[in-house]
């Protein structure tokens, strides 16, 4: 029988983060503030880069795309989670669940590919600086961004297809606060071992392969710094350390969640919160606090805004 015809579930029920009413209200206040800071911080980076001419370089072009993806990535799960923290019964329709799952994997995979591209950009800039202008032309950067969105879309379509082809005819309670492939396919009315392995081989391979590529590229960069001047080493280490912190914060949860077989751990929700809520906020903090160019550009824009306001009073 066709899997679609066997599907009877019309909505899913989330168990959420906790059943404690007091904790739910506390989480709502904390995560609401975190989400607002995520939106404002990443939007500020995008606006600053767009309005500052000397930041129109490949590195900052990729950084503005990273901030845009972080806004989208957090917006897929956090608003629904905040709504659930205020409701006793946390539900989502079947179609909305699949849509959330699709966009979650789209933005997550796009970010994985973007972080890999950013590592390649730093490798070329530091290891072959004379060739950098010819290799990392803006046309090439745009093509790379298009390719990573295409790759993210293909990955997300695969994950979504593997999920919706299964029949859902009974249980509808998801032990999480958002729809993701592993907890959803556990509710299918059929054996999901093969599907689970396909999902692990897809998501897990992408996460692990890109992470290993990043580790190799940053190792090569660190080795090549021995030939740099003291000032060159300081600047390169500052940039690469910020990049690698973001990589570790993002890839750690991804690898933990998507390289395991069909098993659940009590810590999964904590890791998911870090991956969907905290990391998108940390990205702008890491880049702005450790990047003098971005900080000085923000100050300059603020001064221009103040001068503009004073001149019109």
Domain boundaries, given as residue ranges, for the chain: 11-306
pLDDT at 77: 94
pLDDT at 159: 92
The residue ranges of the chain whose pLDDT is under 70 are 1-7, 231-232, 239, 261-265, 288-290, 306-313
pLDDT at 192: 83
DSSP label of 189: S
DSSP string, 221-286: HHHHGGGS-HHHHHHHHHHHHHHHHHHHHHHHHHHHHHSS-S---TTHHHHHHIIIIIHHHHHHHH
Query: What's the pTM value of the predicted model, to 2 decimals?
Result: 0.88
Q: How many CA atoms lie within 13 A of 266 on its CB side?
A: 1
Q: State the CB neighbour count (10 A cutoff) for residue 49.
A: 22
pLDDT at 1: 44
Mark residue 139 as left, alpha or beta (left: phi above 0; alpha: psi -120 to 50; beta: remaining).
alpha
CB 109 within 8 A of CB 171: no
11-306 maps to CATH 3.50.50.60:
no
In angstroms, the CA 288 to CA 112 distance is 20
Distances (CA, A) of 171 to 2, 9, 10, 11: 19, 8, 11, 10
């Amino acid at each position: 029988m066709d899997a679609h015809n066997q599907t009877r579930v019309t909505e899913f029920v989330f168990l959420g983060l906790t059943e404690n009413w007091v904790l739910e209200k506390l989480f709502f206040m904390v995560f609401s503030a975190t989400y607002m800071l995520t939106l404002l911080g990443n939007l500020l980076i995008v606006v600053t880069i767009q309005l500052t001419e000397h930041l129109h370089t490949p590195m900052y072009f990729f950084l503005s795309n990273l901030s845009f993806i972080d806004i989208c990535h957090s917006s897929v799960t956090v608003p629904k989670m905040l709504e659930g923290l205020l409701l006793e019964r946390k539900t989502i329709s079947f179609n909305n669940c699949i849509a959330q799952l699709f966009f979650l994997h789209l933005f997550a995979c796009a970010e994985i590919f973007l972080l890999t591209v950013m590592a390649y950009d730093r490798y070329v800039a530091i290891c072959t600086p004379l060739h950098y202008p010819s290799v990392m032309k803006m046309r090439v950067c745009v093509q790379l961004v298009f390719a990573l969105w295409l790759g993210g879309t293909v990955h997300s379509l695969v994950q979504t297809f593997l999920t919706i082809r299964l029949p859902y005819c009974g249980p509808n309670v998801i032990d999480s606060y958002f729809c993701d492939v592993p907890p959803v396919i556990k509710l299918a009315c059929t054996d999901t071992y093969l599907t689970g392995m396909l999902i692990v081989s897809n998501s897990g391979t992408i996460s692990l392969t890109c992470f290993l590529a990043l580790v190799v590229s940053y190792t090569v960069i660190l080795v090549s710094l021995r030939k740099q001047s003291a000032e060159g080493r300081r600047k390169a280490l500052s940039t690469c350390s910020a990049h690698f912190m973001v990589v570790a914060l993002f890839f750690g949860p991804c690898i933990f969640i998507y390289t395991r077989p069909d098993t659940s751990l009590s810590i999964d929700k904590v890791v998911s919160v870090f991956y969907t809520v905290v990391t998108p906020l940390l990205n702008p903090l890491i880049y702005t606090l450790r990047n003098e160019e971005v900080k000085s550009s923000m100050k300059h824009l603020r001064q221009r805004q103040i001068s503009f306001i004073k001149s019109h009073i």
